[in-house]
Every structure is written in structure tokens, then in C-alpha cells.
Amino acid sequence: MKWLPVVLACLQLAEGAVRISLRKGLSIRDRMRAAGVLDDFLKHIKYDPVKKYQPSQGSVVREPITNHLDSSYFGEISIGEPPQKFLVLFDTGSSNLWVPSTDCQSPACFNHAKFQPSASATFTPRGQSYNVSYGSGSVTLVLGSDTLRIQSITVTEQELGLSQAEPTQPFYFAAFDGILGMAFPSLAMGGTATALGGMLEQNQLAEPVFSFHFSRVATGQSVTSWCSQGCQAIVDTGTFLLTVPQQYIESILEALGAQETSYGYAVDCSDTQSMPPLTFGIGGARLALSPSAYVLNSNGYCTLAIEATYLPSQDGQPLWILGNVFLKEYYTIFDMANSRVGFALSA
């Protein structure tokens, strides 16, 4: 396992299941203190540093995960008492937990499960409204709190958003109801507590360490100078494709022999076997994507699983997003306490 510095934390998906590992050894507080991130983390998750921390019993929680067209992966959670069930996208690119509400009048809410506050004996309205922005639009939410369950994990008084308005694209057509963000608390809009923070605060997890493993369905050897001045990358379960900074798209298309069409970047299916791998140098490790990973074949019409990233990272460097196309090839562990990520070849 190669450990590399990262910015995000995430959930563990393994062979179609969510697997939350409870680690032993040094306490989470000791490890986070040594890494210099304890104070900031506790500030965000409202964790009591004096409270004696006792991990919950057991080591692994498994939840079946649905693979929808190899483009989104989601599982079932419940909110409220008695439980109301929802399918949510476990998203390492965002931090907010939200589901549709019965107050939502957007068409996107009509064909999804909606939370009914009055039917839950443990729901508490908070009143605050805020917007969460995604690449395809913003969702308007009102804050509340209630009991969150993911299999045997139970978090009481978990803050969550109830959608009041959702954009039609992509949520009307989405096979999931809401989103459970797994990134750092500092990315949560509205200053809300994250689901991960709630799990840690209520002793449901031993450490804020999760990993993703998407089972497979299953440039060249030259080195570019594209990131000689630095690039940023997000490993994001909420993004399907590999997104490339706009300034590098033409070079990649030329190297791979692809043509831009109204249906994406097309390539000749018969050329797939001879196309070069895309290799990423991250923290001294070389992580390669073969053509079978980055070329999509739809009934004999082949396109690159690539799209352009138009926005820079927060520090202005070119931004790459390593989506599910990348995650299918590498078992990825995110260690929030030490701000690092580990990669290993997927089995």
C-alpha cells in the first residue's frame, strides 16, 4: 500500500458492499494530535476531547451497494423513528447529508422517496436554510436533525438537510434519492455536522478511516510536463468520469487518437487494444489506467471516459478529478486523521 497526501476522506465500498473498518492500536486522538490536525477536526465535529473514547463492538459493517449503469453507486440508509428508507450516493466530493422532503415541489422530487418530518417521533426542525452546489446545479435545503442508521451504525440527532428545491438535471433522472457526503467537515455548507462526525462523536467508529473498492467490469511511457508547476486532484466517488484540466484536453485527444463529437470524445473501437495507458505520478507512485479502463464501449461505439475540468483548484493549480473510472482500478483508502490516501491495485 502506497500512502500519499490528500485533501478528502471517504467511505469504503468493497465488492458491492459498504465496509466500515474499525481500527485498533493508537487512539484516534493520539494519531490526529501527532499529525497536527486534532484541534481543527474537533472544532468541526463538536467532539469532546475529554470524553474517554470507546470504539463500538465489531470490526466491519457491510451494506449492499447498487451499481447503476456503472455510473453511480448508492446504498440504503434510514432516517427517523420509525425508520424512513432512502437510497443515497456516498460522495467523497462533498460533505452534506440530505434527502428529499415532502415540502419539495420540484419535479426531481416527485419520483423519489421523500422524508416526512411529521411521521418521525425523533425529528427536530432547525429552521436554517442553505444551498449546496454541485457541478450540475444547486439544491436548496432546510436544516433538521434526526436518527440516522446505516445497518448497525446508529447516530442520534444527526444534522441533515431536507431538500426544498432540486434541479431537474441530474436529480430527476437519478436512481438515488439523496446524497451522503463523506468529505472533510470544513466543506459542509451551512456549517452542519457531517455524518462521519456524528459516527465518531457517538462512538460508532474507531477511526475516521474509510476505503473504496469498486469491483471491475471490466500516456504511453513518455512523461509530460503538464504538472511540473503543480496540479491538484480529487478522488471523487460522486464523479463517474476522469476529468482533465481544459488546457490539457487537446494534447490527450491527440495522443489517444480521439475526435470530439456531440456524443463525447470518440475513438475507433478496433484501436483500443493498441492505445497507451494513462499513467499518473502521485507522490512518487505511478498509477496507470489501461485503455480497458478509460474507453467506454456502447454497442460498438467507443468514447473516452474523459471530460474537461474548467475550474481550477482552490490554490489556482490545474484540477483533475479521479472519478469512478479510476476507482474501479485501485482500492483506495482515505485516512482523514493523517490527511493521506493509499492506493493498491484492485483485485
| H-only helix segments in the chain | 28-35, 38-45, 107-110, 168-171, 195-201, 246-256, 291-294, 324-327
Q: Which three cell numbers stand for residue 201?
A: 462523536
- Domain 232-327, what fold? Cathepsin D, subunit A; domain 1 (2.40.70)
Handedness of CA 317, 321, 322, 325 (dihedral sign): negative
Indicate yes or no: pTM above 0.75: no
> Whole-angstrom Cα distance, residue 318 to residue 157?
39
pLDDT of residue 102: 95
Per-residue H/E/C for the chain = CEEEECCCCCCCEECCEEEEECCCCCCHHHHHHHHCCHHHHHHHHCCCCCCCCCCCCCCEEEEEEEEECCCEEEEEEEECCCCEEEEEEEECCCCCEEEEECCCCCHHHHCCCCECHHHCCCCEEEEEEEEEEECCEEEEEEEEEEEEEECCEEEEEEEEEEEEECCHHHHCCCCCCEEEECCCHHHCHHHCCCHHHHHHHCCCCCCCEEEEECCCCCCCCCCCCCCCCCCEEEECCCCCCEEEEHHHHHHHHHHHCCEEECCEEEECHHHHHHCCCEEEEECCEEEEECHHHHEEEECCEEEECEEEECCCCCCCCCEEEECHHHHCCEEEEEECCCCEEEEEECC
Residue 226: which of 267, 280, 291, 264 has the closest Cα?
Answer: 280
Q: What is the pLDDT of residues 159-192, one digit of tens each?
A: 999 999 999 888 888 889 999 998 888 888 888 9
Q: Which three cell numbers stand for residue 1?
A: 500500500
User: pLDDT tier at 230 (50, 70, 90 boundaries)?
Assistant: low
- Domain 22-206, what fold? Cathepsin D, subunit A; domain 1 (2.40.70)
Residue 157 carries which DSSP code? E
Residue 306 has pLDDT above 80, yes or no: yes
Are 186 and 43 in contact by the 8 Å Cβ rule? The answer is no
Give me the residue spans of the domains in the chain: 22-206, 232-327
Residue 114 has pLDDT above 90, yes or no: yes
pLDDT of residue 147: 97
205 or 113: which leads in pLDDT: 113
> Whole-angstrom Cα distance, residue 93 to residue 238?
6
pLDDT of residue 194: 92
The label of the residue with cell 457531517 reads 194
Residue 249 has pLDDT above 60, yes or no: yes
As annotated, the active-site residues are: 91, 236
Residue 219 has pLDDT above 90, yes or no: no
38 or 241: which leads in pLDDT: 241
335 or 300: which leads in pLDDT: 300
CA dihedral 66, 173, 145, 104 (to 10 degrees): -160
pLDDT of residue 98: 95
Are 289 and 326 in contact by the 8 Å Cβ rule? The answer is yes
Are 116 and 103 in contact by the 8 Å Cβ rule? The answer is no
Q: Do 22-206 and 232-327 have matching folds?
A: yes
